[in-house]
Structure 1
Amino acid sequence: MANPSASDDYFRFFGLNQQFKIDLPALDQAYLAIQKEVHPDRHARGSDVDQRLAMQMATLANTAFQTLKNPIQRGLYLCKLHGVDANLETNTAMPAAFLMKQMEWRESLDEQAEDLPALESLMTEVERSKEDALTEIAQAIDGAKNYERAAELLRGLLFIDKFAIELDDTIAALI
């Protein structure tokens, strides 16, 4: 059965290196292998303890997989593992240039809500900004081991991601 002692580190649980840039196919493979091993149906005839442990391991595998698959959640998790809390609920301070860009995007969305080509162009810009943020986060975590900086970048990425979803919804409504 999967190693419950590795449950304090999702990366170790899946046999992956503790880093931001991970091999997603390897994560998928490790997840499927663990799920196959701990699936409750495989332990239906086992003792109550075996069944409970299998259920706990399946739940842990699901939680760990969802955390590591999502780059924002993975980054926040890595920060947490290294003693840095992003304080998402209380720390909303962002650099002025970042806030200005957010305001520009919001104004563009409001002013061009019916202009599909303009919205698609805005989406390209937002996606590029998201990719740039992901690159910076990878450098902060994997390169510099600067988890405070990574947490700051992740807070910004959450804003970008939220805006991208709103923009995507607006585009979808026009199509």
Structure 2
Amino acid sequence: MQNHFELFHLPQRFAVDLKALDGAYHSVQGQVHPDKFAHASDAEKRVAMQWATRANEAYQTLKSPFKRAAYMCELNGVDLQVESNTAMPVEFLMQQMEWREALDDARAHKSSEELDELDSAIRAARKTTVAEIGTLLDANDFTQAAGLVRQLMFLEKFAEEVSYALDALPD
């Protein structure tokens, strides 16, 4: 079975041309759209639906830097061990603790300014981490990249928490 990159005829690199991805996705979806199979047999409809589902999953994976990085590690035989390997560099853990305190303070103060500041810091950390992951993946260093992908997972979750805190503020 072809991988997500092959499905969309894209080079297997971390840096993905999002316009090419969108175009390839729409092309595949156009070929397997249920309307094209309205008069087909049940088996053909089922196969078309499976392809449409697979194309959706592949598109969502390649579109997200986090999911794409995790997929590339797994594709190259490196298990992210997200459940079993929670070891992180001390600096990263210290930063997490500082951000967690800042989030608690911002919530207590009901301060959108503090939350916006925190959101900006996390965006910058995510951008840097994604760039580092891309460099490692494109250099075929999947083991090193996996460690950063685990860190990115924490950043993604924390960014969601900050977003929820912003949404919970009174207008």
TM-score class normalised by the smaller sequence: over 0.9
Deviations 1:29-71, CA, capped at 9 Å, x for gaps: 1111111110122012123332222122111111111111111
Alignment of 1:98-109 (within 5 A): 98-109=92-103
CA distance in 2, matches of 1:23, 1:32: 14
CA–CA distance in structure 2, aligned partners of residues 51 and 108 of structure 1: 53
1:155 aligns with 2:150: yes
Deviates more, 1:119-128 or 1:100-109: 119-128
- Pairing 1:85–2:79 present: yes
State the AA in 2 paired with 1:86.
Answer: L
The aligned counterpart of 1:120 is: 116
- Counterpart secondary structure, 2:140: coil
Q: Can you list the C-alpha shifts for 1:61-86, whole angstroms capped at 9, x where unaligned?
A: 11111111111111111011111010
Q: Which runs of structure 2 are paired with 1:1-175 in the superposition (5 Å)? A: 7-113=1-107, 114-142=110-138, 144-174=139-169, 175=171
Unaligned regions of 5+ residues in structure 2, if any? none
> For residues 101 and 41 of structure 2, what CA distance do their matches in structure 1 show?
61
Q: Which runs of 4+ in 1 moved over 4 A?
A: none
How far 1:138 sits from its partner (Å)?
0.4
TM-score (norm 2): 0.94
Aligned positions, number? 168
Give the SS at the match of 2:20.
Answer: helix
Name structure 1 gaps, 5 residues minimum: 1-6
- In structure 2, the partner of 1:3 is none
Supply the RMSD in Å over aligned alpha carbons.
1.1
Write out per-residue CA displacement over residues 98-132 of structure 1, whole angstroms, 9 at most, x where no aligned residue.
Answer: 00000000001111221221211111111000000
Alpha-carbon separation, structure 2, partners of 1:61 and 1:148 = 27
In structure 1, what residue type is equivalent to 2:135? Q
1:8 deviation in Å? 2.8
What's the secondary structure of 1:45's corresponding residue?
A: coil
Q: How far apart, CA to CA, are the structure 2 residues paired with 1:93 and 1:72?
A: 19
